[in-house]
Amino acid sequence: MCGRFARYSLSRELERYFNTHPASFDIQPNYNVAPTQEIPVIIQHEDDRHIKKRHWGLVPFWAKDTSIGSRMINARVETITSKPAFRAAIKQRRCLIPANGFYEWQGKSGNKQPYYFHLPSGEPFAFAGLYEIWEDKEAHPRKPVLTSPARLSPWMPAIRLRISTTECR
């Protein structure tokens, strides 16, 4: 895959063109999609296609943090089944990444010229993509403890207060 691409087709066009369920979020045009940005992807679930939001950059399930994702934007066909980062995803977690065009740079370092490639028809197309499910193993989910009136006493034992009174005159 390229390092930058454009996707300006809106939800309805993507849903019709790729035969998906309606997206549950608004898809805004982006003419300069870069790694780590949130992008729409098309995922097959059972017999249906759905548009979901994902961050561009694969974070393998075994990664300690998400920083590796900005460097994992390309999988080479020659090594996709042997590299640990892609091995599981290529078997089970494939997706489509809708686009309208992509950029390739040519020239000498420091003086590169971007060239934009797109279909003559202007229709969207899709990059073959992979996705992974990553969970932060360091984070501990926080949840409130709920209690009922019957359990208030064990949680908060009765406190006996001594009340002294003085007479006011």
Tell me what pLDDT residue 155 has.
65
Class level of CATH domain 4-130? alpha beta
Tell me what pLDDT residue 65 has.
75
CA angle 73, 134, 38 (to 5 degrees): 50
Q: Is the pLDDT of residue 156 over 70?
A: no
Choose the catalytic residue: 13, 104, 138, 168. 104
Q: In this structure, what token pair is assigned to residue 92?
A: 């089970």
In whole angstroms, what is the distance from residue 74 CA to residue 57 CA? 8
Q: Is the pLDDT of residue 165 over 70?
A: no
Choose the catalytic residue: 2, 78, 138, 168. 2
- In single-letter form, the type of residue at position 50 comes to H
pLDDT tens-place string over residues 104-146? 999 998 899 999 999 999 999 999 888 877 767 666 666 777 7
Tell me what pLDDT residue 132 has.
79
Q: Is the pLDDT of residue 168 over 70?
A: no
In whole angstroms, what is the distance from residue 19 CA to residue 21 CA? 7
Alpha helices in 19-95 (DSSP H): 84-92
pTM: 0.74
Q: What is the mean pLDDT of the chain?
A: 83
pLDDT tens-place string over residues 91-114? 888 889 999 999 999 999 889 999
Per DSSP, the residues of 98-146 read: EESEEEEEESSTTS-EEEEEE-TT---EEEEEE------SS-----PPP
Helix (H) or strand (E) holding 38: strand 38-45
When pLDDT is cut at 50, 70 and 90, the band that residue 157 belongs to is: low
Percent of the chain scoring above 70 in pLDDT: 80
Mark whether 15 is an active-site residue: no
Percent of the chain scoring above 90 in pLDDT: 41
When pLDDT is cut at 50, 70 and 90, the band that residue 88 belongs to is: confident
Domain boundaries defined on the chain: 4-130
In whole angstroms, what is the distance from residue 81 CA to residue 102 CA? 25
Mark whether 104 is an active-site residue: yes
